[in-house]
């Protein structure tokens, strides 16, 4: 019955190719790192690091070594450090091949909303707006429906946007869809889901 969080992350990992520099968002996107297998992927952390390693062994935490989620991490042989202006220069300059991010809503024209809900606590966009505007390819990983069972793939976003027309591919628990001219195109249907179920669960226009 549909994909779970780990299966979605594993499917997202298939999007990555040897040699890519990639930025992973918080939540399910973070799990993608567990499924890259033998592929030579370098992870960027936008607070100023290329070549992000796993969490440290207990006792080895270093206050000077954190990821963009402020979690303690480790470095690798290939690691390079730099300042925040340099970090976003490589993002804005299109050097990062892909970003894999979570979302609250995606519209059929590729609009993305993932940073604020009016009336709720506003924490800020962090680096999300820079990433979606700058990286080569934006891949969204999210649940197909919200907790009320309503589609998060919409004709138009209702929430304030993170970026306009920025999403390339959406991976949900129901399957994989691409943003194309006129709407979303089904690329793949998740195990245990039929194409009709996927269509029925989607508010956005699906084109053939």
Q: Which residues bind other proteins (CB under 8 A)?
A: 45-49, 54-67, 69-73, 75, 81-89, 91-92, 111, 121-130, 133-134, 160-165
17 tagged catalytic: no
Q: What is the sign of the dihedral through the CA atoms of 192, 196, 199 and 201?
A: negative
Q: Report the distance separating Cα 87 and Cα 134, nearest Å.
A: 12
Strands 137-141 and 175-180: unpaired
CB of 45 to other proteins, least distance (A): 7
What does residue 197 show for φ and ψ, rounded to 5 degrees? Answer: -65, -40
* Closest by Cα among 99, 112, 120 to 43: 99
128 vs 198, beta carbon nearer other proteins:
128
Q: Both tokens of residue 30?
A: 């973070």
CB of 168 to other proteins, least distance (A): 15
1 vs 63, beta carbon nearer other proteins:
63
Q: Both tokens of residue 176?
A: 């994989």
27 vs 56, beta carbon nearer other proteins:
56
CB of 206 to other proteins, least distance (A): 24
Supply the residues annotated as catalytic.
Answer: 46
């Amino acid at each position: 019955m549909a994909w779970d969080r780990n299966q979605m992350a594993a499917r997202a990992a298939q999007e990555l190719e040897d040699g890519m520099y990639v930025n992973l968002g918080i939540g399910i996107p973070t799990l993608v790192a567990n499924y890259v297998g033998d592929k030579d992927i370098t992870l960027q952390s936008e607070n100023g690091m290329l070549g992000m390693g796993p969490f440290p062994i207990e006792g080895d935490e270093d206050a000077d070594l954190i990821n963009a989620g402020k979690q303690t991490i480790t470095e690798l042989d290939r690691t390079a450090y730099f300042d925040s202006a340099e970090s976003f220069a490589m993002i804005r300059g299109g050097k990062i091949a892909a970003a894999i991010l979570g979302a609250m809503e995606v519209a059929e024209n590729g609009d993305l909303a993932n940073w604020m809900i009016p009336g709720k606590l506003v924490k800020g966009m962090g680096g999300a707006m820079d990433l979606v505007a700058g990286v080569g390819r934006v891949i969204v990983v999210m649940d197909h429906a919200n907790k009320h069972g309503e589609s998060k793939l919409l004709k138009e976003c209702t929430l304030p946007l993170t970026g306009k027309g920025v999403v390339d591919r959406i991976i949900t628990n129901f399957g994989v869809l691409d943003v194309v001219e006129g709407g979303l195109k089904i690329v793949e249907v998740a195990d245990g889901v039929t194409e009709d179920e996927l269509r029925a669960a989607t508010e956005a226009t699906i084109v053939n």
